[in-house]
Structure 1
Amino acid sequence: MTALEAVGVYVPSGRTPIEDLAEHFGLTAMQVRVFRRYHGLGEVSRDPGGLLDLLRGAVADLGSLKGREDRVRYVVHARTFPVVVPYPRNPLRDLCREFGLEQAATFAVGHHACASGLLAVDVVGRLLAADADPEALGLVVAGEKAFTGQAQLVPETSFFGEGAAACLVRAHGEHDRLLAYDAQLRGEFDDDSPETAARFQREYAHCLAAAIRTAVERSGLDMTQIRLILPHSVNRVAWQRVCRKLGFPLERVLLDNVGSIGHLFCADGLVNYRTAADRGLLQPGDRYVMAAAGAGLGAAFAAMVFEH
């Protein structure tokens, strides 16, 4: 059973208030107030370095990796966007050279947009199980630079921040065991028309709630047995709607990072996991959900159920 061995996080100290981004995107004062008061967004994290600096910071935070580098079979970058640096740069291979992981197979997963972080954990867990080496590890890294307009703002929804997360994955483990995973792909949203965008907004909460409910049911549990939801940090009102669909208390969705760092692409779930763990919000035996949605070539709605 796939398990998370350790989670590392890097969130830079730099912050940019959303008001400072308004002029660049042509946002009115009223739109900014809606983002801040209604969606719960206040500022986003920014780092002066490049993508390698973000990923390096997250992997350096994995203390349990040191001395076990030779056990890492796979290093996978979970991406929202298919292209994250100019060709021919390859920060993932540079990262492996820095941390003594050159023997690992490396690739990127980006098919589910912002839900690709969950997909990457599932893929690595399956690969490790097929290898039949109980000591083998996989390393999933997530995080991107907000380097274009599309990578900085989700219109009327959220702002992207900069930061990164990394997790060591095992095929089997004693803690943070993956109990179930569900990913629901909706190809009908592969359309840039205003009508399709409006439909996506209308159906978003229903679709994400359905993925969460399905994953919880597959784990043999019900929502009353879920201690916490670790969300993708898109905005507060989106999770209010999802919680209404689920009949789940909003106060048990960890939204603390929404207003202070923004939406960190595929890294939100792992960043929120560390926040929960550091604050003692998860106790041994607690079951929790990581959930995310991504839009690009269609849409993906995904959820994983873990036991801490």
Structure 2
Amino acid sequence: MPASAHDPVLSLAGIAFSLPAQTVDAHTWARRCGLPETRAIALLGNGVQRFHDAAATSPVALACEAVSALLERTGTSRVSVDALIYTHTIQSSVMAPPAGTAAFVQSHMGLDRALAFSVMQQNCVSPMAAIRVLRVLTIAGHPIQRAIVVCADVMGSGCDHLRAIQDLALHSDGACALLLERGVGRNGIVGLHLHTDGRYFRGTDDDLQPVPDDRYYWSAFATMRAALRQAGVTGNELAHVLPHHVNLRGWSRLVTMLSVPQERLYTANFSRLGHVFGADPFINLHTAPHGQPGSCSLLFSSGLAGCFGAMVIRH
């Protein structure tokens, strides 16, 4: 029997993340890319200060660190994990075939009972897409009681010039692991909506720069509104809006469109962490003040190629 929006099938029971210790500020990034100082000033003007740089650390190593921290923090036994899903945005964030990244993380972390696979091509929305897959599996009656979703991405030193999203963000290396448990619990998922606009399937232009999306605000707003409707809540009832770390000024516009008071937009990590690909909203959920029991928060992410995702959790 399908679960209703008010009877969540999955709860977000734990979050852990792994960020490289080394950080690089916007001025240093501009200098090492041979860009004018005005580029750094423009980034700073949009609240973009620095990013985490993995240097020689691999995304798989960061993923394993995040999963290890998650297991330890939540006291989860490895034999109790029924599924493991690895997600990423950059193609180089997976091991080259015939090796399997999800299988490597499974083996390295001792998750021998877990069904292991990967979700990609939704870019920064891939973790939410993975949660949607798990939700469908549980509704369909598959015996998944506990699952881990881990996302990891590393730009690589040779791609430094691609870290900037216009002047709206700097990509940050890192990984985030999520523990999903079946049943109604704290941080139950009561709304989840994904949207892909096929007009932007290329993602970037010939210079590897993001293609301007003339419907970005409407697509983002419509995606979040759909998730809120599933949850049966309105914008002004939210405890927090937990954004991805891109376009800080644009977020002020979006929360106005949603009728959410500006002070409920959680921005503390925006300049401090950089844009950690699909991990941003989950890191924000982990670090934001806890919502009152029964209140709801909205998580959002979007990615290149017209991908949008929104999720509502009930605290």
TM-score by length of 1: 0.88
Find the counterpart in structure 2 of residue 117 from structure 1.
127
Q: Distance in 2 between matches of 1:67 and 1:244?
A: 40
The share of aligned pairs that are identical, in percent, is 22
The superposition leaves residues 189-211 of structure 1 with CA deviations (integer Å, 9 ceiling, x where unpaired) of 235559x96650x4222211111
- 1:40 maps to 2:47: yes
Contact 1:239 1:250 in 2 (8 A): no
Q: Which residue of 222, 231, 244 maps to 1:210?
A: 222
**CA RMSD across the alignment:** 2.3
Contact 2:149 2:178 in 1 (8 A): yes
SS at match of 1:143: strand
C-alpha deviation, 1:253, in angstroms: 1.4
Q: Distance in 1 between matches of 2:314 and 2:274?
A: 27
The superposition leaves residues 195-243 of structure 1 with CA deviations (integer Å, 9 ceiling, x where unpaired) of x96650x422221111111111121111111110111111311212212
C-alpha deviation, 1:246, in angstroms: 2.1
Find the counterpart in structure 2 of residue 190 from structure 1.
201
SS at match of 1:102: coil
Contact 1:228 1:253 in 2 (8 A): yes
C-alpha deviation, 1:285, in angstroms: 1.5
C-alpha deviation, 1:249, in angstroms: 2.5
Contact 1:146 1:162 in 2 (8 A): yes
Q: Distance in 2 between matches of 1:131 and 1:151?
A: 43
SS at match of 1:175: coil
Find the counterpart in structure 2 of residue 158 from structure 1.
169
C-alpha deviation, 1:67, in angstroms: 5.3
Q: Which moved more, 1:158-167 or 1:148-157?
A: 148-157
Contact 2:59 2:174 in 1 (8 A): no
Contact 2:170 2:275 in 1 (8 A): yes
C-alpha deviation, 1:140, in angstroms: 0.1
Distance verdict in 2 for CA 1:156–1:227, change over 3 Å: same
The superposition leaves residues 171-203 of structure 1 with CA deviations (integer Å, 9 ceiling, x where unpaired) of 323111111111121011235559x96650x42
Contact 2:168 2:248 in 1 (8 A): no
Contact 2:221 2:254 in 1 (8 A): yes
In the TM superposition, what are the counterparts of 1:22-101 in structure 2 within 5 Å? 22-37=30-45, 39-48=46-55, 49-62=57-70, 63=72, 66=75, 68-88=77-97, 89-101=99-111
The one-letter amino acid paired with 1:253 is L
The one-letter amino acid paired with 1:301 is F
Find the counterpart in structure 2 of residue 106 from structure 1.
116
Contact 1:128 1:138 in 2 (8 A): no
Find the counterpart in structure 2 of residue 140 from structure 1.
149
Distance verdict in 2 for CA 1:229–1:23, change over 3 Å: same
C-alpha deviation, 1:91, in angstroms: 3.9
The superposition leaves residues 233-286 of structure 1 with CA deviations (integer Å, 9 ceiling, x where unpaired) of 11311212212322323321111111111000111111111111xxx3422222
The one-letter amino acid paired with 2:266 is L
Find the counterpart in structure 2 of residue 275 from structure 1.
287
C-alpha deviation, 1:113, in angstroms: 1.2
Find the counterpart in structure 1 of residue 309 from structure 2.
302
The superposition leaves residues 35-84 of structure 1 with CA deviations (integer Å, 9 ceiling, x where unpaired) of 102x1011111234211221122112223665522222211112113442
Which structure 2 segments of 5+ residues have no match? 1-8
Find the counterpart in structure 2 of residue 220 from structure 1.
232
C-alpha deviation, 1:307, in angstroms: 0.1
TM-score by length of 2: 0.86
SS at match of 1:7: strand
Contact 2:47 2:270 in 1 (8 A): yes
The one-letter amino acid paired with 2:277 is F
- 1:230 maps to 2:237: no
Q: Distance in 2 between matches of 1:229 and 1:137?
A: 26
Q: Distance in 2 between matches of 1:250 and 1:114?
A: 24
Q: Distance in 1 between matches of 2:169 and 2:299?
A: 19
Q: Distance in 1 between matches of 2:293 and 2:211?
A: 42
